[in-house]
Amino acid sequence: MDISREIPALRSVRAFSKVFSFYCLHWVRDQQSALGNIHRLLRPGGEALLVFLAKNPVFDAYRRMAKDPRWAPYMEVTEQFDFQSISGGIDTFKVSLLLLLLLLFLLLLLLLL
């Protein structure tokens, strides 16, 4: 399942009591849709544990390697990811806002338990 795309209506909406994601969501381009879908997947009172990178030096390395002619052909896939905002160097406000929204979402889930 692509978590950032539309979920088939009758298949899995409200089907899970727990949703886990470890070190995957930072690769998802449309994180707003992904978080909304995670919410739709959860049953009332369900829990989500989401772990993702907000900043990692490996993203800087990807950018440098993609510019090097020796590595550029192997790094074409990295162009589809927004390493600028993921690495925190350019758009830390977006990353901070996303983390705040995630925290508020999790607090809301806890209050509904």
What is the Cβ-side half-sphere exposure of residue 47, based on CA atoms within 13 angstroms?
Answer: 3
Interval 71-112: pLDDT, tens: 888 777 666 665 555 444 545 566 666 677 777 777 787 777
Question: pLDDT, tens digit, for every residue of 23-82?
Answer: 888 778 788 888 888 998 899 999 999 887 766 677 777 778 888 898 888 777 666 665
What residues contact 99, with CB distance under 8 A and at least 6 apart?
54
pLDDT reported for residue 87: 47
